[in-house]
Amino acid sequence: MSAGDAVVVALVIAASGTVQLAAGFGFALASVPLLSIALSPHEAVVVALALATFTNAYQAYSGRQETDRGVTGRMLAGALVGLPIGLLVYRAADERVLGVLVGVAVLAAIGVTARGVDLRRAGPRLDLAGGVVSGALTTSVGTNGPPLVFVLQARRFEPDRFRATITSVFFVLDVLSVAVFAATGEIDRNILLAVGAALPGLAVGAAVGIWLRRFLDPRRFARLVLVVLLAAAVSSIVTALTR
């Protein structure tokens, strides 16, 4: 990895950390497509998951009193089924396919975030299904948020409860995924260098995100996030199709 690539990685992670800590989600959605500028799509997935472990650990711990443990447990149970499915996709798909999948996952996130669906009376199968899809996305494209965002929004979770629950699920999935990638030999020297280069950016981005959370109007910031995610999705798909 060149010095220029290291700078790009650090800047992307700083911006993604800001989004994550201010909005409560969106780290992988924002980082994976943009990391593909400096890294391969495979490397971008692993790097994003490794770094997201830090931001999700902080938010899960700080919001632990608000976490819905029942929903969290069911989502994680479903994710255990989805993780190996996603790993098979990750190892079999070429980089162009992964790039398109990343873009599609981001577009799906935009759709479920922009629409309101009321499923507060839905049974536990909704949480299990969301977990399965999220687990598969975690180890295949690294953007595991869309199904979880859909489920929690459909259940009409309040913002604090939403952030605490989703980051608790993210944290466990991140740790499991990084362990799986390490065990299967997917973490190499270039990925470790990228993670090391990104850590200062992550620290800066997290600090800025925590500061912004106190001042930004949630609705306006949510609209801004949607615009950024749309740009990232289009960029990921176009880049993949023009390789």
pLDDT band at 5 (very low <50, low <70, confident <90, very high): confident
Q: What is the mean pLDDT of the chain?
A: 84
Exposure class string for 49-85: b at 16+ Cβ within 10 A, else e: bbbbbbbbbbbbeebeebbbeebbebbbebbeebbeb
Reference 147, options 156, 138, 139; nearest CA is: 138
H-state helical runs in 24-94: 27-35, 41-62, 69-92
pLDDT band at 117 (very low <50, low <70, confident <90, very high): low
Residue ranges of domains in the chain? 3-241
Reference 53, options 240, 202, 165; nearest CA is: 202
Q: Would you call 1 helix, strand, or coil by DSSP?
A: coil
- Structure confidence by residue, pLDDT tens digits, 154-173: 888 887 888 889 999 989 98
pLDDT for 182 beyond 80? yes
Query: What proportion of the chain, given as a percentage, has pLDDT over 90?
Result: 28
d(CA 209, CA 18): 4
CB contact at 8 A, 9 and 198? yes
